[in-house]
Amino acid sequence: MACCRRCCQRRNQTTVRVFNDNNFIPSSVQVSYPLTQVVEPNTEMLFPQVDYNTGVSFSTRVDNYGVDIVAPGVYKITFTGTITTDQDQTVSVAITLNGEPIPQSEISQHVLSQGPQTVYTTIVFKVISPSANIGVANIGIESFSITNAKLDIVRNGNF
């Protein structure tokens, strides 16, 4: 029995999306490190675990220090973690772009040795050229321990 032309055309049809500056691809990624890590001054935190990745805008860094943003756009980047210290001290962290702290994301928080405290920072910024390496660094002068470190990145739109 011969197949009709209409049926064959439907089966062989392919939809191709052409991406340009007017298309918006919503996506988000979260990377984390649920265990405790000690972060020395002027070093980035590890994020080896991918909790979710819902889009094509990201790839995880092979060195486990964060996320590579591979699509231009406007992004909301949030970091959170639970910090403990041996002594009362001021802890300073910042979200980094290509290894350099983003000044608008820098926070300093006094942490007491009696118990863990949550540290949190968020920033919205434009990524103009792809392959922006996003991480989080200890920009303070003393080391600290952090547990449940999470880096969440959401692509909010084009610019």
In this predicted model, which residue has the larger pLDDT, 3 or 52?
52
In this predicted model, which residue has the larger pLDDT, 2 or 28?
28
pLDDT reported for residue 157: 85
pLDDT tier for residue 11 given thresholds of 50, 70 and 90: very low
Q: Which CATH number fits domain 29-157: 3.40.50.720, 3.40.50.2300, 2.60.120.40, 2.120.10.30?
A: 2.60.120.40
Nearest in space to 134 (alpha carbons), one of 97, 93, 92? 97
In this predicted model, which residue has the larger pLDDT, 85 or 15?
85
Provide the pairing of β-strand 100-101 with 117-127.
unpaired
Average pLDDT over residues 57-80: 90
Compute the mean pLDDT over every residue in the chain, rounded to the nearest whole number: 85
Q: Give the whole-angstrom CA distance, residue 158 versus residue 17.
A: 17
Q: Give the whole-angstrom CA distance, residue 47 versus residue 113.
A: 25
pLDDT reported for residue 88: 93
The pLDDT tens digits of the residues spanning 135-151 come to 999 999 999 999 999 99
pLDDT reported for residue 77: 96
Nearest in space to 29 (alpha carbons), one of 72, 68, 65? 68
Residue with tokens 């880096």: 151
Helix (H, G, I), strand (E, B) or coil at 19: coil
By mean pLDDT, which of 14-18, 70-74, 116-120 is the weakest? Answer: 14-18
